[in-house]
């Protein structure tokens, strides 16, 4: 049964959307520096170690305990920590995964999953319709879909704009989306805004709305994408008044308030510790490392080979994969090829593996 799910492109997408570091934090692991981009924590098997031995590897989106040898991907991590079966672990990541034909109840989604109460819903005129939440915008309407593969869309004719929960005073909080902005405003009462089309589409004319504001807190998700978005927006606004603000627990503010039960006092402590974007960048140690391989790279026979060999090898899955592909190309020779203009290209690969040895 599990093998069938592994071939599902939706499952691959689910894993890709949930980096191992974020899942580990949501499972309340305390992460410490290990080597390069990797982090380590105490193993869930509770064996005695002088140092944390459970290593999280963002490059391949997997984990491995260097003491007891347990290893796997994000779903297997959830299975072992939460003591769930495969279906339960997938549902923990996405409650709608196994039932795309029917959506969850919109009211239940707002109340239980997003923690948005009736008063907030009524104030901002959120409408619960079959399979979606309707979010009124100054320029039209945006939809949060609760079934199918599309998460967000907007009504025809709706253009991007600044979505504001309240007028700004000396400071404003910029959130990653409308529902996060509403949750932050609901829990704190602080003015929280968001660009409805994302940071990449943040328009120059919106900058006039931010003039005169002394502090702008960029409260994006606590992941690499959130950090990149904060840096990009700070460049557009001006880093001299932009502060990086991210949840200390969970990936986003819904996790912070709903899953981890944090309150306004906890948020205020984070406000006090927020650093200027310029200072954050100065303090960061820049590590050059390739982006993690997408799970699609492990498609087909090559991927099956890697997953079969991996439990019995200390080699990195990427090394197993590229060596398998290089060996395959060498075995079949030059005859099978494909053309690029007038040139014939055989299936040969020339591979160089670089990394620390044991």
pLDDT digits (tens, 9 = 90+) for 200-221: 778 888 989 998 899 999 999 9
- Match domain 2-93 to its CATH number in 3.90.580.10, 3.30.9.10, 3.40.50.300, 3.30.420.40: 3.90.580.10
State the pLDDT confidence band at 59, using cuts at 50, 70 and 90. confident
pLDDT digits (tens, 9 = 90+) for 280-339: 554 444 444 566 677 788 888 888 888 888 777 777 788 888 999 989 888 888 778 777
Mean pLDDT of all residues in 160-179: 93
**Where are the chain's structural domains?**
2-93, 106-283, 299-346
Please give the CATH number for the structural domain made up of 106-283. Answer: 3.40.1360.10
* Helix spans in the chain (H): 2-6, 9-16, 20-26, 74-82, 86-93, 106-108, 118-123, 178-188, 207-210, 224-237, 253-254, 264-273, 277-283, 300-309, 317-332
Supply the pLDDT for residue 8.
62
Alpha-carbon gap, residue 337 to 59, rounded angstroms? 31
Q: Is the pLDDT reported for residue 4 higher than 80?
A: no
Among 23, 96, 21, 67, residue whose Cα is nearest residue 259 = 23
- Most confident segment among 25-29, 46-50, 192-196: 192-196
Supply the pLDDT for residue 274.
92
pLDDT digits (tens, 9 = 90+) for 112-144: 999 999 999 999 999 999 889 999 999 999 999
Supply the pLDDT for residue 340.
65
Average pLDDT of the chain, as a whole number? 84
Q: Which of 90-94, 292-296, 348-352 is predicted least confidently?
A: 292-296
**Entry pTM:** 0.57
């Amino acid at each position: 049964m599990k093998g069938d799910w592994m071939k599902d492109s939706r499952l691959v997408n689910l894993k890709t959307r949930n980096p191992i570091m974020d899942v580990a934090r949501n499972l309340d692991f305390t992460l410490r520096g290990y080597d390069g981009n990797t982090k380590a924590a105490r193993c869930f098997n509770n064996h005695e170690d002088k140092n944390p031995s459970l290593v999280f590897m963002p490059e391949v989106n997997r984990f491995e305990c260097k003491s007891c040898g347990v290893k796997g991907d994000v779903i297997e991590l959830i299975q072992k920590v939460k003591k769930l079966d495969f279906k339960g672990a997938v549902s923990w990541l996405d409650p709608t995964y196994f039932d795309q034909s029917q959506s969850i109840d919109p009211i239940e989604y707002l109340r239980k999953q997003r923690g948005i109460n009736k008063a907030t819903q009524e104030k901002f005129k959120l409408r619960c319709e079959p399979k979606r939440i309707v979010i009124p915008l100054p320029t039209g309407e945006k939809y949060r879909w609760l079934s199918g593969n599309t998460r967000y869309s907007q009504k025809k004719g709706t253009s991007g704009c600044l979505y504001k929960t309240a007028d700004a005073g000396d400071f404003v909080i910029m959130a990653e989306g409308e529902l996060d902005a509403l949750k932050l405003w609901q829990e704190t009462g602080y003015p929280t805004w968001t660009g409805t089309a994302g940071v990449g589409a943040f328009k120059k004319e919106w900058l006039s709305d931010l003039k005169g504001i002394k502090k702008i807190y960029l409260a994006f998700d606590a992941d690499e994408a959130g950090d990149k978005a904060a840096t990009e927006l700070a460049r557009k606004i001006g880093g001299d008044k932009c502060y990086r603000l991210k949840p200390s627990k969970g990936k986003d503010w819904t996790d912070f308030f709903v899953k981890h039960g944090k309150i306004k006092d906890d948020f205020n402590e984070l406000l006090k510790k927020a650093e200027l974007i310029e200072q954050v960048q100065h303090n960061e140690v820049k590590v050059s490392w390739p982006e993690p391989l997408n799970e699609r790279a492990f498609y087909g026979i090559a991927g099956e080979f890697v997953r079969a060999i991996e439990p019995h090898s200390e080699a990195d899955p990427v090394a197993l994969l590229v060596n398998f592909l290089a060996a395959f190309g060498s075995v079949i020779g030059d005859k099978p090829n494909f053309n690029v203009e007038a040139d014939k290209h055989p299936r040969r690969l020339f591979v160089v593996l670089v990394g620390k040895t044991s």
